[in-house]
Structure 1
């Protein structure tokens, strides 16, 4: 993926285009057309389409700080996804979701660490957002969503540590007492960020979902930030169209 300049941005009420890739909301589906070059060490062309079909679109917003400078927006926590990329083995369909984070300040200005997880359940999906803020306060959010997109706060099992990442990044998520979460599939592993499919037990139900851990103290380290330029190259210009 590539960090591009303002000239690469095109928007309409239903379409977001950045360089050669775009997202288009049809009214019932989010269609994502990808045309990118993957990052080192396996540099290759990545083309294809991803289609997200929400069971419902929510109106839920979760402020991550008291002043609303950071907001999590779970647009479609219960969805179906179909992936069709131009590469062997990159065609599949299954349970999915679509969410986004918005903010007016740098993450490292307000947080030292956070974890997030979204787990499909028999009733819909469970989402957990836990964050340690630099002012000493914490965020501990647990939400359950049904198939109609309705969200509600629910009691959360304890924060439970599990095996550190390959970069020794601390990881934790919610789990019933007496159970330990475990990684079942690696997705992305970096010195300050880890994303993986994690299995845990919530209210007696064994679930597998996407989990992330982010260490903002590591991210703010001036020795680590230049690594982003290798993984996410920058292209300032783009042809006008």
Structure 2
């Protein structure tokens, strides 16, 4: 929630800390401690702890480009999550996941658009990664994870577009013939990005999971990029004595 300078970063083999917030791996749980200020229009303190307990860990890596400049890493595609934030109603537990993206080039250099979705299934979870690259090629990948974290590239029905976001970002995901995906919860809406809970049907199973759509043509626009400086606070550092 805050961009900070290099001096605010501290790492150990088990801990990643940026300013007052950190992630720590205990060997069983990922403990995420948050102490931040939210962005406009509602400016408030976001403080508390999130605990992610994986059902299983994976060693899977999916190259998103042919030369490996971008990689998706699903560390724990199926997990239990417990949220304990210091605000009324911000305490709950449920089904979660933990993943990350790594890259050596800016996303907008290599992609024009992508969608991603992770849907819990009766056997584990299915992750969908579809993208349009700048060179005109596409990424069309579905990976099924079982309860033990084993990954299998699997077939999935074709892409199907559904209702655009509030900012009119195009959205699509996989859906069986005759089924229209539907947003059931809005999580984040921006001029170039949408994150929401989406219900669809994949290979006969009705699933509800987290979905994102990212329009990198919009993101690269000189009219939109400066908005990030307004939305995300910036602090040069974080004093060592406050750790």
TM-score band w.r.t. shorter chain: over 0.9
| Aligned residue runs from structure 1 range 1-241, under 5 A | 1-241=1-241
Q: Secondary structure at the match of 1:40?
A: coil
TM-score for the superposition, normalised by structure 1: 0.99
Cα distance, 1:237 vs structure 2: 2.1
Question: Structure 1: which 4+ aligned runs deviate by more than 2 Å?
Answer: none
Structure 2 residues not aligned, in runs of 5+: none
Q: Deviations over 1:151-198 (max 9, x none)?
A: 000001110000000111100000011100000000000000000000
CA distance in 2, matches of 1:137, 1:62: 16
Asked if the contact 2:114/2:213 (under 8 Å) is kept, the reply is yes
Structure 1 residues not aligned, in runs of 5+: none
Cα distance, 1:232 vs structure 2: 1.0
CA distance in 2, matches of 1:230, 1:195: 20
Kindly report the root-mean-square deviation, in angstroms, between the aligned alpha carbons of the 2 structures. 0.6
Cα distance, 1:240 vs structure 2: 2.4
TM-score for the superposition, normalised by structure 2: 0.98
Cα distance, 1:206 vs structure 2: 0.7
Question: How many residue pairs end up in the alignment?
Answer: 241
